[in-house]
Amino acid sequence: MVNTVQLIILAVALFIVFILSKLYKNTKKVAMPDIPDAKTIKRVLASDVAFYQQLGAAEQLRFEERVAYFLSQVRITPIQDAPVEMEDRVFVAAAGVIPLFRFKNWFYNNLDEVLIYPDTFSKDFELKGAHRNVAGMVGDGFMHRTMILSLQYLRAGFLQHTKGNTAIHEFVHLVDKSDGAVDGIPENLLGQPYLKAWVSLVYEYIKEIREQEIKDINPYGASNPEEFFAVVSEYFFQEPELLEANHPDLYRMLEKAFRGR
Ligand SMILES: [Zn+2]
Cα–Cα distance between 14 and 215 in angstroms, integer?
78
Residue 118 burial by CB count (10 A; 0-12/13-18/19+): exposed, middle or buried? middle
Question: How many whole angstroms from 23 Cα to the centroid of ligand 1?
Answer: 48
- 121 C-alpha to center of ligand 1: Å? 14
Domain ranges of the chain: 179-261
Give me ligand 1 centre to Cα 229, in Å: 9
Ligand 1 centroid vs 4 CA: distance in angstroms? Answer: 77
- Of 240, 82, 102, 61, which Cα lies nearest the Cα of 161? 240
152 CA → ligand 1 middle, Å:
17
State in Å: Cα 223 to ligand 1 middle.
9
Q: pLDDT-derived band of residue 114, with 50, 70 and 90 as boundaries?
A: very high
**Band of pLDDT at residue 29, cut at 50, 70 and 90:** very low
pTM over 0.85: no
Confidence of residue 142 (pLDDT cuts 50, 70, 90): low
Q: What letter does residue 73 receive in the DSSP assignment?
A: H
Residue 19 Cα to ligand 1 midpoint, Å, equals 54
What does the alpha-carbon distance between residue 72 and residue 89 come to, in Å, rounded to a whole number?
A: 11
How far does the centroid of ligand 1 lie from the alpha carbon of residue 137, in Å?
7
pLDDT surpasses 60 at 126:
no
SS3 116: strand
Distance, CA 21 to ligand 1 centroid (Å)?
Answer: 52
Centre a 10 Å sphere on the Cβ of residue 146 and count the other Cβ atoms it contains: 17
Cα 185 to ligand 1 centroid, rounded to whole Å: 14
Sheet strands (E) in 53-210 = 75-78, 113-117, 136-138, 146-150
- Return the higher-pLDDT residue of 85 and 136: 85
If one counts every other C-beta atom within 10 angstroms of the C-beta of residue 10, the result is 10
Ligand 1 centroid – CA 174 distance (Å) = 10
| H runs (alpha helix) in 145-224 | 151-159, 166-177, 187-190, 192-210
227-236 pLDDT, tens digit per residue, is 999 999 999 9
At 124, is the pLDDT very low, low, confident or very high (cuts 50, 70, 90)? low
Distance 32 CA to ligand 1 centre (A): 32
Question: Who contacts 81 (Cβ-Cβ below 8 Å, separation ≥6)?
Answer: 118
Spacing, Cα 217 to ligand 1 middle (Å):
14
Summarize the confidence of residues 205-230 as an average pLDDT: 96
Among 24-33, 85-94, 130-139, 196-205, which stretch is predicted with the lowest mean pLDDT? 24-33
Crossing angle for the helix pair 225-238 and 192-210, to the nearest 10 degrees? 90
